[in-house]
Amino acid sequence: MTVNLLGFNREALTEWLATWGEKPFRARQLMRWIHQEGVADFSRMTDLSRGARQELTRRAGVMVPELVSEQIARDGTRKWLLSLGGGNAIETVFIPEAQRGTLCISSQVGCALDCSFCSTGRQGFNRNLTTAEIVGQVWWANQALGANESNERVISNVVLMGMGEPLLNYEAVVNSLDILLDDQGYGLSRRRVTLSTSGIVPALDRLRERAPVALAVSLHAPDDELRDTLVPINRKYPLKELMAACQRYLERAPRDFITFEYVMLDGVNDSDAHAEALLRLVHGVPCKFNLIPFNPFPQSGYRCSVRHRIERFRDILMAAGLVVTVRKTRGDDIDAACGQLAGQVMDRSRRDQRRATVSQSEHLA
């Protein structure tokens, strides 16, 4: 089987090269060609000896997910549906802004966590992405955006906020982070890569030691009772443990802060009392808040909070001295907004079937 070099961080690439007698500096050369120049064809890697190029062609490849479709929203947001074979596809979204370009990448096909307001969760879960598939999204986007020919950095930030729970695909995700942060790879600073998690506490502790990138935590509720219903993983890692893990994470990165994400659900988690309870919950944790207007999808059963409610909620948090942003909804005309990413998931957890059975029995009762 041909080896996919997109899946190797520098250490793994160096080791692999050594198995056939190549020197460590080749790893640096190769990484620059692949990730910085966007070159997949070994014959174009001109500073490699002819013998090495032939040997690489024989043993390896740079294999990228295949494009199924591209959509461009009115605001310039682009969404790519990329096929992974076997009926699975994932979504990758590029969000251009005046001062930066953010790429939102996926880490799993679907998600097993089933948060009640998330369309990815509703699709069920099929499998983890490999490192090559995670990094392949960045490689692909650079290519599609013409970034390799440009002198400026087109993708300045990467967020792991697409499909899936990144910390439930820990190994592949941290290897991908290595490549994103490596000077010979994408050369992004730790603060320009954000991992968003629903709060897998033991994995947060490991990430802190391994690759402490910027952290976004999906909070969505100020107390366990409500969070249990919105983010079911809360039953396993309740808020007290999650807050302690956030504190520990920041010990490793003292000048940093946690971004708490909070989806605004009309009549569910958006009252003044909820905002006040939030202030008590996060007391002492250096943080910012990102309020996310709920993005509807069919049969979600939720509505987004009305605008003045979101503003009032924001004002209560701000009055206590917190930095709060309300996320602008981007790309919603092409379903590229948060929680709308659905891809194509061959659901192995048969969630749809289970749901159908439940609603049928409800109907009968």
Active-site annotation, residues = 91, 338
Of ligand SAH, ligand SF4, none, which one does residue 161 interact with (CB within 5 to 8 Å by kind)?
ligand SAH
Q: CB under 8 Å to 249, separation ≥6 — which residues?
A: 204, 205, 207, 208, 212, 215, 258
Measure the CA–CA gap between 296 and 285, rounded to whole angstroms.
31
In the complex, the smallest distance separating the C-beta of residue 267 from ligand SAH, rounded to whole angstroms, is 16
Which range touches ligand SF4 (CB under 6 A), out of 19-27, 31-39, 116-124, 235-243?
A: 116-124
118 is a contact residue toward ligand SF4 (CB under 6 A): yes
Look at residues 181, 127, 148 and name the one whose alpha carbon lies nearest to residue 348. Answer: 127
Region 204-243 residues binding ligand SF4, contact defined as CB under 6 A: 218
Site string for ligand SF4, 185-204 (x = CB under 6 A): -------------x------
In the complex, the smallest distance separating the C-beta of residue 345 from ligand SF4, rounded to whole angstroms, is 12
- Residue 145's Cβ-count burial label (10 Å; 0-12, 13-18, 19+) is middle
Distance of CA 200 to the CA centre of its chain: 14
Q: CB under 8 Å to 174, separation ≥6 — which residues?
A: 207, 210, 211
Which range touches ligand SF4 (CB under 6 A), out of 118-126, 174-182, 251-259, 320-328?
A: 118-126
In one letter, which amino acid is 357? T
Burial 234-257 (b: 16+ CB within 10 A, else e): beebbbeebbebbeebbeebeebe
Contact residues for ligand SAH (CB under 6 A)? 111, 117-119, 161, 165, 196-198, 218, 261, 263, 292, 294-295, 338-339
- Of 131 and 196, which CB lies nearer to ligand SF4 in the complex structure? 196
216 HSE (CA, 13 A, CB side): 22
| Of positions 7, 65, 101, 121, contacts ligand SF4 by CB under 6 A | 121
Of ligand SAH, ligand SF4, none, which one does residue 294 interact with (CB within 5 to 8 Å by kind)?
ligand SAH
120 is a contact residue toward ligand SF4 (CB under 6 A): yes
Q: Which residues pair with 289 in a beta bridge?
A: 260, 324
Of ligand SAH, ligand SF4, none, which one does residue 292 interact with (CB within 5 to 8 Å by kind)?
ligand SAH
114 is a contact residue toward ligand SF4 (CB under 6 A): yes
Measure the CA–CA gap between 162 and 7, rounded to whole angstroms.
19
Residues that bind ligand SF4 in the complex, under the rule CB under 6 A: 111, 113-115, 118, 120-121, 164-165, 198, 218
